[in-house]
Structure 1
C-alpha cells in the first residue's frame, strides 16, 4: 500500500522521543516500511529521515494547549503547514492517509481528499480537535481509538470504528528476569504537572526505596518549584534517555510508579515496563486498568499517595515473568500494525465499493437508452 502518515508538529518524530505519541508514530511508520509498504511521513523538520520523512514545518512546541494558542506564531505556522499539506494531498497518489496529528485541519478537510483517511484518537476530547471532527463529513473517513476509555470519552462527538491498543517494540524493551542488585523504583515520562511526578516522589519515600526518574523537562516552573527541591541521594533525575538506556534503567527496577493526574489515553510507559518484566503500581485512571491485571500490576486510588505506596509494596511481590507475558499478549507492536493494516484495507475497499456500484448501475441503465426492436421496426416502416 501507498500510505501517508500525518504526524503532529510540536516535536520531532525521532529519538529521544518527547513522549508516547512521537514514539508511536515512529514505530508505526518504521514497521509499515519494514512490511514493504511505501510510507511517507509528513512531520516536522528534525524528524528521522529514514522513515520516509517529508518535512512540512519546523517544530511548533508550545507550553500550553488552549484558546490562547491562537495568538501565538507557532499556532499559525502549524495551521498553514497542515492547510498546505491537505491541499497538496488532493493531487497525490496514496491509497490511504493515516492522520496522527491531533490537529483539527486534517479531519475538517478529509472530505476534500480523493483517498480514504483513518484518524487515530490519542487523547480525550479537547476544543480544537473536537471542532474539527464535528466538521468532518467525509464518507471515506474512519476513527480508531487507542483504548476503550478513549472511545467512550469521544462517543458524544463521534463513533470509533475500531479500538486498536498501542504497541511497543518488545525487542527494544527486552525482558529482565532479575532486577538490579541495588533495589530502586522507577518513574519516567514527560515531566509536566499532569504526569504527577511529585506524587511518585512522595510515595517512594513512604515505601522506603530510592526512586530514579527519567524524562524531558517540559514545564520548567513545575520542575524547579516541585521536583528539584525534592531531589536528593534517594531521589535522582537521570535525564532524558534514548531507548537503549531507558530500557536498561526500567528493566533494573523493582517496580514502576505510574501517576497520571488525568485520564491516561493509553499508557505506553506501562506497556514498556511490563515488557521489561517490571511490575506496575499505578493510579486507576483512563486506559491503565485495561492494560494491567492482577498478575502484573496493582491499581491505586487516583491522587492518593498512601494508596500508591501500598500498591507499590504489593507490586514488589509480583512475578516478573507474568509481567512480560502480559506485555506480549496486550502490547506487541506487531499486533497493533496487523490491526491498522486490516483497518486500512477495509477503508480502501469501502471507498472503492461506491465506485463499483456506480459502474454497475450505469451498465444496468445502458440498455434502456437504446431503441427497442419494435421502435426500430416502426421507424423503418415510416421511412418505407
Structure 2
C-alpha cells in the first residue's frame, strides 16, 4: 500500500471552501480535500476565511498592503480586491518557499491566481496546478516566465487540455468527480431546474427564455455573482412559473435537482467541465444544454441532449425529449464517468509519482 502523503492544497482566497458553495471550483476543492483525508492523507487546506472548520484549514489571510498615497493615486493602481488577492498569495507562496513548505510531499494549486504558478520554482517540493478554466492572460504569462516544466499540470477535461495547447503540453486529464452518495437519485418532477452562479457567462436568462418557449416551469438556484446582471437580465423574466429560489446548501439543492424533470445548462463560454452536469446526472436528472466546452464529453444521448450554442429555440425544442430520457441511465453515467473515486485515484497516483 502506498504511504500516506502530506499535501498542501491551495484554494481560493476570495470565497470560503464550505457550504453553500460560491461555485463549482469551491465545491470541487472541498470534495477533493475530504476524499484525500478519508484515504489517510494529511491535507493542509490553504483557503479563504470562513472555510469549513472540519477541514484542516490555514486561512489565506488578506493583509492589505500599506500603500502610500502616491502609490494609491498612480494610474496603474488596480482595484482593491485585486491587490488583496495579490498580497495574500504572495505571502502564502513566500511561506511555502521557505520553512512553511518543508513538511509537504506535494503542493496542489487549485486557485486561479497566477502567483502560485509564477513562484513554483521557489518551492522545494513538486507542485501540481489544475487548469480549471480556458486560457487567461495572467496564467499564460506566469507559465511563460519559466516554462511549464516547473509545474505538473492537470486539466479537468479533454476540452480544457486542448484549449491550453501548445503552451501546456501533455496536461494529464483528471475529471472532476462528484460524491454520488451526497447527490442521491430523485424521483423527478414537473419543473425544470437551472443551478449555478448567477453570472452572464452561465446564461441563466437563456434557460428562463428556453423554459418559457417550451411551456415548462423552471426553478433557478445559486449565488448571485453579478447583481447588476441579475437585476437587469434575469429578474424581469421571473414570475410564478420561472422562479429564483435562492442560494441553497447542498442537501436542499440535491433535493431540488432530484425532483426536477430535467436540468438546463446554458454556458455562454467554453465550459471547462460543468460540475452541475455531473451533479444533475447523479440525481438521475437528464440534462438539456448548449454544446460548449466539455459538456459533450460528459453527456451521452441516453442521458442528455445538446443544442447549438446560444440557440434558445433549439434548446426549447429538445426539452420534452430530454424529460423522457431514462433517469437510471443518467445515474449510471454519473457513477461510471463522474465518480469521486476515479478523480481521487487520479490525483493520488500523480502525487505518489511526483513524491517518489
Give me the TM-score of the superposition, normalised by structure 2: 0.92
Q: Does 1:48 align with 2:57?
A: no
Q: Does 1:307 align with 2:317?
A: no
Structure 1 residues 210 and 59, CA gap change in structure 2 (3 angstroms): farther
Structure 1 residues 70 and 126, CA gap change in structure 2 (3 angstroms): farther
Structure 1 residues 141 and 265, CA gap change in structure 2 (3 angstroms): same
Question: Contact (CA 8 Å) 2:156, 2:272: kept in 1 or not?
Answer: yes
Corresponding residue for residue 133 of structure 1:
143
Corresponding residue for residue 292 of structure 1:
299
SS of structure 2 residue aligned to 1:216: coil
Give distance in 2, aligned partners of 1:136 and 1:193: 34
> 4+ residue stretches of structure 1 with deviation over 3 A?
136-140
Structure 1 residue 269, shift from structure 2 partner: 0.3
Structure 1 residue 136, shift from structure 2 partner: 3.7
Corresponding residue for residue 160 of structure 2:
150
Segments of 5+ residues of structure 1 without an aligned counterpart are 61-67, 350-384
Corresponding residue for residue 126 of structure 2:
116
Give distance in 1, aligned partners of 2:125 and 2:77: 30
SS of structure 2 residue aligned to 1:54: strand
Question: Contact (CA 8 Å) 2:261, 2:323: kept in 1 or not?
Answer: yes
SS of structure 2 residue aligned to 1:84: helix
Give distance in 2, aligned partners of 1:33 and 1:69: 43
RMSD of aligned residue pairs (Cα, Å): 1.6
Residue of 145, 161, 173 corresponding to 2:171: 161
Structure 1 residue 140, shift from structure 2 partner: 5.2
1:1-384 correspondence runs (5 A): 1-58=5-62, 71-90=78-97, 91=99, 92=101, 93-137=103-147, 139=149, 141-176=151-186, 178-180=187-189, 183-349=190-356
Q: Residue by residue, what CA displacement relative to the aligned partner does 1:34-85 show, whole Å, maximum 9, x if unpaired?
A: 111111011111111221100022499xxxxxxx996112212211221111
Question: Contact (CA 8 Å) 1:115, 1:140: kept in 2 or not?
Answer: no
Structure 1 residues 306 and 12, CA gap change in structure 2 (3 angstroms): same
Give distance in 2, aligned partners of 1:245 and 1:161: 36
Structure 1 residues 139 and 196, CA gap change in structure 2 (3 angstroms): closer
Give distance in 2, aligned partners of 1:147 and 1:153: 10
Question: Contact (CA 8 Å) 1:111, 1:138: kept in 2 or not?
Answer: no
Larger CA deviation: 157-166 vs 31-40: 157-166
Structure 1 residue 288, shift from structure 2 partner: 0.3
Larger CA deviation: 269-278 vs 30-39: 30-39
SS of structure 1 residue aligned to 2:197: coil
SS of structure 1 residue aligned to 2:128: strand
Q: Residue by residue, what CA displacement relative to the aligned partner does 1:243-293 show, whole Å, maximum 9, x if unpaired?
A: 000000000000111000000000000000000000100100000000000
Structure 1 residues 136 and 166, CA gap change in structure 2 (3 angstroms): farther
Structure 1 residue 206, shift from structure 2 partner: 1.3
Q: How many residues align?
A: 339
Q: Residue by residue, what CA displacement relative to the aligned partner does 1:177-232 show, whole Å, maximum 9, x if unpaired?
A: x213xx10000110111111111111101111100010111111111111111111
Give me the TM-score of the superposition, normalised by structure 1: 0.86
Which structure would you say has the larger Rg? 1
Give distance in 2, aligned partners of 1:316 and 1:43: 39
Structure 1 residue 141, shift from structure 2 partner: 2.4
Q: Residue by residue, what CA displacement relative to the aligned partner does 1:63-122 show, whole Å, maximum 9, x if unpaired?
A: xxxxx9961122122112211111211223100000111111111111111100100000
Question: Contact (CA 8 Å) 2:62, 2:87: kept in 1 or not?
Answer: no
